[in-house]
Amino acid sequence: MLANFKALTFVSITLCLPGVTTSAVKTPTKKAKSACDVAMQLRQMADSARTKITSTQEAVKTMLATASKLDVIANGVNTNTGWAAAYLRTIYIQKAAEANDKLAANAPALLKGIEALSRLAGSQEAISRLSQLQLQDLNMAAAAAHATTGTKGQLKPKLDDALKAHCVGEDESRQKGSSDENHDGQHKNAITIVTVTPAQPGTALGSYLTICGSNSINSGAPDTERCTSTQATNIGFKGGKVFTTAVTVTHSASTGGTTSYTDVGSDATTPNKATLKAELALVLDMLQAATGLGTITPPATIESAFDAASAGTSIAKALAGHEATAEQPNLKEKVKHTTEELFGKERNSIKTQITQLLNTFQPSKAAGSDGAKKLDSINAPEELSKAATYYTIKNFIDEEEQKKKNQENPSCPTKTGKLEEPKKISSRMQKAYNGATLQG
């Protein structure tokens, strides 16, 4: 039985995979109206990607904790229920390992994409602030006065003081999005980007960012009605915004078998086209990595982790080699018998006994616990490791003592190659079966 079980657990590792569903990072559904809107949307994307990493880590942690609890039962129960727990333990270890491998393969791209989104969001917040920068009007006055040291004309920038963090509302949270227009449904992974360019001066004298001249008007702010071509006795300057913003939507598209984001910005914009292309390439890699990672969750219950067909295949291979199947005529009954011995009829060992032990068994103080915690409530890796170690050693000691007793009393029946009948369960485990409250 032991030799076959070792083979069985080895085979089970190759057959049991973690539960994975495809799930992408959430991308914006609405077009952003402002740079602050864009920053909010990009940070939400980064948060969504970050959650995929942390949720996978939590799933791995949960599966390893369950494997450790099953390890305690496997070493603390001298019945076939212990073997069933050991089999399930390998399933959970494999699920955790598969999940960890997926995370290791996809986390670098996810993290780089999160960093790119954070940089882009930061640039959008800076753009939102700097887009408010203006040059103030220089009022009309004698040209000589504007050119004199004591009364010199100055083009002064204006940017109102910001008393709160930018793009943050009155309640100190990120500003709510003002978007109400949906992205084109045909555009995949659409993202809005705001860029800025230096503002171009107006075309008429006295329009924004132009000089105004007049021989008669010598005070007040310039405007197109107060300026006369070729006159320069009195001059002034009409102020205005320094930067012009442009709101553009980009999305992923495939060309010639290659997928990338459509171009946004130009050599003259900030951020420029090259910067945005590089950052958006990292974002696209992140989205693809998120799809590759999927959503990994632990089995909802111990029973749901068990796959009867997979177990049957594992048992067949353990009995007759790697080419064996559970449906072979010469193995079918053996597989059925072994399955019932190992997992109980209708899988009662899993449905009832293991689940009951997880919910009621309290490891002793000698096992590193306080003697009052039920196994299901223990999640600290160190506590679970100590408990598993204790019952492994205790099981070994008990078996050695039993061997000595058998040698001293040769009339005891010897083992055969057949599956043994279930032995007596340890006293502490028996109390757990009976629902008794155990003390340390």
Q: What is the pLDDT of residue 372?
A: 82
Report residue 11 as tokens: 């085979």
> Where along the chain do its domains lie?
2-27+39-111+297-404+420-434, 122-161+174-290
Q: What is the pLDDT of residue 413?
A: 54
214, 305, 339, 367 from 335: Cα distances, Å? 104, 20, 6, 36
Mean pLDDT by 10 residues, the chain (440 residues): 45 46 80 95 97 97 95 86 92 96 98 99 96 97 97 96 84 71 95 98 97 97 96 98 97 95 98 98 98 94 90 92 92 92 86 89 82 88 90 88 87 44 46 41
Q: What is the pLDDT of residue 412?
A: 54
Q: What is the pLDDT of residue 19?
A: 52
Q: What is the pLDDT of residue 180?
A: 82
Alpha carbon distance 364, 371 (integer Å):
5
Alpha carbon distance 173, 169 (integer Å):
6
- Architecture of the 2-27+39-111+297-404+420-434 domain: Orthogonal Bundle (1.10)
401 C-beta neighbours (distance < 10 Å), count: 10
Q: What is the pLDDT of residue 2?
A: 42
**Cβ atoms of residues 170 and 186 within 8 Å:** no
Q: Which of 130, 159, 120, 134 is nearest to 248 (CA)?
A: 120
Phi, psi of 33 (to 5 degrees): -95, -30
Q: How far is CA 11 from the centre of its chain?
A: 31
Q: What is the pLDDT of residue 429?
A: 52
Q: At what angle do helices 80-130 and 332-343 cross, to 10 degrees?
A: 80
Alpha carbon distance 134, 159 (integer Å):
7
